[in-house]
Amino acid sequence: MRKIKKAIIPAAGLGTRFLPATKAMPKEMLPIVDQPTIQYIVEEAIESGIEDIIIVTGKGKRSIEDHFDNAFELEENLANKEKYELLEKVRQPSKVDIHYIRQKEPKGLGHAIWCARKFIGDEPFAVLLGDDIVQADTPCLKQLINLFEEVDSSIIGVQQVPENETHRYGIIDPVKQDGRVYEVSNFIEKPKENAPSNVAIMGRYVLTPEIFDYLASQEKGSGGEIQLTDAIQKLNRSQKVYALDFEGTRHDVGEKLGFIKTTIEVALTREDLKEEMVEYLRSLLNSELLLKK
């Protein structure tokens, strides 16, 4: 039985939706409450049994490497002050081997994955996109890995979206459904019209290494970029690719309103913030700020 031990996290995007904040800070380092977005992704990978992560970065992303490096002076300071809970949080990101490679040109998600091919070799692997944070009892990626261990085929994480938002996502054309598992005839990147379903690809993948053969020759697709979805469609013709409607709440942190909503919802799950947060939101609902037209 093949095991999933390696994961790719693409983090080379320019983050233009969050300018000017991302002029000097990678969007992946924008904090949700008190933790960078990318750390939520790394922790999901760790909780799913991943042992090695490669982060595909670009120019101006050095702070990501610094964040996941050991901080000896800071850790010693926290230990001396007996701030052990905070010390554990600081050490959490270093509990897995993290490697880095640069995507030298912004050619799209498919190209970013292809850049990590030598790190992956001939093993099946996971991909986690930083724009999607999933809160679930069983980590989202772990759900995909569990299914992979049953079927030994590529698995794509999906959830339903409103019909009027299908143009924003890769969409599947399902031919058969068994519980939460779909067999798929087509994977379509951001259909402009006549989407075959409202079941959208949601930033979690378990892929077999044959995907690199298709990425190597993949032409530019939607947005003038090399799209991972297009290569998955070609892979699906030679070996079955399943889609899993994973359990959990998915947060879109790739756009401003979703980022704000996620920050609020994560804060409401925190015991140290929940009570005051609820009180604040109640007062806000009755304030003149929202009553004004």
Q: Which helix (H) or strand (E) holds 274?
A: helix 274-285
Dihedral over alpha carbons 134, 55, 10, 5 (to 10 degrees): -60
pLDDT at 284: 85
Write the pLDDT tens digit of every residue in 39-75. 999 999 999 999 999 999 888 788 888 888 777 777 7
Collect the ranges in the chain with pLDDT lower than 50. none
pLDDT at 69: 79
Question: Which of 40, 12, 95, 48 lies closest to 206, judged by CA?
Answer: 48
- Rounded to two decimals, the pTM is 0.90
Residue-wise over 49-58: b if at least 16 C-beta within 10 A, else e? Answer: ebebbbbbbb
Tokens 């299914």 locate to 147
pLDDT at 129: 93
The SS3 call for residue 165 is helix
Distance CA 230, CA 232 (A): 5
